[in-house]
């Protein structure tokens, strides 16, 4: 798999607080990369650097083989980077179609092209295997947690994105709704997109991730294929930054 996004020695501080220190990260195309870490490890800061909300103090961002500067979310979107935050940023009073096109409405003769927007929204949901919504014209307020996450992801991928970042997508969801979201992640991978998923839930991580990256106190403790580690090893990286080998020595 070719690397779509590379972060090299990314550092970011806020006053006296050093949030990230020399972080490297590889995100291959067509794979799911899980970003794990304890609270305060720097996960949110790192994804906001990728999404254009924060600018790194030092380091380099390589996108599709070339160095880029991401000054704003608009810059990120133009590259093909879309982020689905934990709060989803959906408007409860609007329906599914209106949410998916919010701020990017299609016009025809200076009027909203409702037919074209409905067709595009329905097509994207269908391609992602989202079949549980009753109508694409139902208010987002009426949707379950898993359905809301599905709409937020569909909104992201509809704009020809190449990388979808998902921040705690299964937080506060039940078993059935979590399964819906994990199937959605698999559908994104099947479409050839890169997915960067931030999650505390290691069951979910091991269910979908091809690669696991672990941050510890603002530094990258490990980047490994998911098949080469178990939950215990990931937890050790998350909590200590190192893993104890059988001989009592540390690795990582």
Give the CATH number of the domain where residue 24 resides.
3.40.50.300
Confidence of residue 247 (pLDDT cuts 50, 70, 90): very low
Confidence of residue 231 (pLDDT cuts 50, 70, 90): very high
Instruction: Kindly tell me if the per-residue pLDDT of 248 is higher than 50.
Output: no
- This prediction has a pTM of 0.88
Please calculate the CA angle 178-180-185 and round it to the nearest 5 degrees: 95
Domain that holds residue 232: 3-88+162-251
Distance of CA 58 to the CA centre of its chain: 23
pLDDT at 159: 78
Contact (CB, 8 A) for 139 and 94: yes
Instruction: Name the domain count of the chain.
Output: 1
Interhelix angle 175-190/145-157, rounded to 10 degrees, is: 20
Q: What are the pLDDT digits (tens) for 77-100?
A: 999 999 998 887 889 999 999 999
User: Quick check: helix, strand or coil at residue 147?
Assistant: helix
* Closest of 177, 167, 182, 171 to residue 35, by C-alpha: 167
Residue 95 lies in a domain: no
Residue 61 lies in a domain: yes
Confidence of residue 171 (pLDDT cuts 50, 70, 90): confident
Residue 180 lies in a domain: yes
Residue 23 lies in a domain: yes
Helices and strands, counts by H and E, the chain: 8, 14
Residue 122 lies in a domain: no
Q: What are the pLDDT digits (tens) for 43-84?
A: 999 999 999 999 999 999 999 999 999 999 999 999 999 999
């Amino acid at each position: 798999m070719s690397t779509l996004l590379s972060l090299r020695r990314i550092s970011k501080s806020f006053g006296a607080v050093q949030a990230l220190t020399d972080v490297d990260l590889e995100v291959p195309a067509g794979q799911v990369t899980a970003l794990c870490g304890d609270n305060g490890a720097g996960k949110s800061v790192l994804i906001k650097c990728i999404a254009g909300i924060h600018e790194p103090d030092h380091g380099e961002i390589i996108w599709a083989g070339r160095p880029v500067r991401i000054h704003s979310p608009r810059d990120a979107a133009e590259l093909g980077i879309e982020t689905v935050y934990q709060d989803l940023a959906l408007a409860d009073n609007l329906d599914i179609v209106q949410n998916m096109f919010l701020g990017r409405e299609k016009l025809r003769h200076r009027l909203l092209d409702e037919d074209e927007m409905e067709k595009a929204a329905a097509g994207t949901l269908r391609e992602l295997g989202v079949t549980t919504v009753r109508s694409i014209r139902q208010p987002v307020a009426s949707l379950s947690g898993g359905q809301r996450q599905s709409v937020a992801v569909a909104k992201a991928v509809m704009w020809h994105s190449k990388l979808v970042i998902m921040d705690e997508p299964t937080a506060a969801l039940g078993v059935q709704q979590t399964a819906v979201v994990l199937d959605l992640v698999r559908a994104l991978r099947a479409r050839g997109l890169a997915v960067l998923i931030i999650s505390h839930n290691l069951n979910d991580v091991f269910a979908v991730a091809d690669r696991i990256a672990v941050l510890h106190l603002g530094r990258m403790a490990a980047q490994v294929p998911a098949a080469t580690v178990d939950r215990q090893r990931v937890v050790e990286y998350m909590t200590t930054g190192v893993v104890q080998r059988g001989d009592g020595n540390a690795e990582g």
